[in-house]
Amino acid sequence: MSQDLLHMRTAITLAKYALDHEETPVACIFVHSKLNKVIAYGMNGTNESISGISHAEFMGIKQIQEKYGTDPKILSEVVLYVTVEPCIMCASALKQLGIKKVVFGCGNERFGGNGSILCIHNDTSTNKSNKYVSIPGVLRREAIMLLRYFYVRENDRAPKPRTKKDRKLDKETFPPLQWDKYLTLEEFEDEFGQEFRDAFYSHRDVYDEIDWDLIDTGCDESFLHDLIEQVQSVNCTY
């Protein structure tokens, strides 16, 4: 299994933890690319904090800034794995802080800043030197399924739930992935290999088998505990 898949599995597991704790299932980890260690993690906390800007990425950035300073040079060696495409606000923060690369699961059709709505990651009108490569589609279906679980549950709790037909959980169909909104063919092939070129043009997933175990198994406290321990123990310099 590739490192990208392994790291995204961690992010998906954290997103499941968020779902199990009444939050929107969006989560991320920041990985030092040379050490291959998690240096920060984040989960969506907008419900608990009642703040619309408590996004997973900001939780991770806060941890990094507390440890490495407010202008953390270390980010130029760090890859962010996040289950949903960063929103415009987070994409902009990541760019200004000089992140190396972002890998995400599913697109964010309303607020996405890495290609869905705006292309903050390769925008040259602000800080030209801080462009970053953004890779979509890693465990995309798992990320989408967690969001579907969340919205079906929220609807069930609404004062006027929609009809049963409307809230049937769809486990079969997934929207096409228009890769060229997010990255070039060259970037795609660098990431996934030439053998998947057909997926790029036909808007298919590279990973289309859903790992149901990954999203149905709850994330227990020991998983989170081990992750926090790893984050605290890693001591890297730029």
Q: Which residues bind Zn ion (CB under 5 A)?
A: 55, 87, 90
Per-residue burial over 67-76, b = 16 or more CB atoms within 10 Å of its CB, e = otherwise: bbeeebebbe
Closest CB to Zn ion among residues 87, 183: 87
DSSP 111-125: TBTBTTS-BGGG--S
Closest CB to Zn ion among residues 80, 90: 90
Minimum CB–partner distance for residue 61 and Zn ion (Å) = 10
Of 22, 23, 48, 57, the catalytic one is 57
Minimum CB–partner distance for residue 153 and Zn ion (Å) = 22
Minimum CB–partner distance for residue 16 and Zn ion (Å) = 19
110: left (phi over 0), alpha (psi -120 to 50) or beta: alpha
Q: Residue 21 contacts by C-beta under 8 Å, 6 or more apart in sequence?
A: none
Closest CB to Zn ion among residues 36, 49: 49
Closest CB to Zn ion among residues 72, 113: 113
- To the nearest 5 percent, what fractions of the chain are helix, strand and coil? 45, 15, 40
CA 207 to chain centre: 16
Minimum CB–partner distance for residue 91 and Zn ion (Å) = 8
The CA–CA distances, whole Å, from 26 to 73, 86, 103, 155, 194 equal 26, 10, 13, 18, 30
Would you call 189 a catalytic residue per the annotation? no
Residues serving a catalytic function are 57
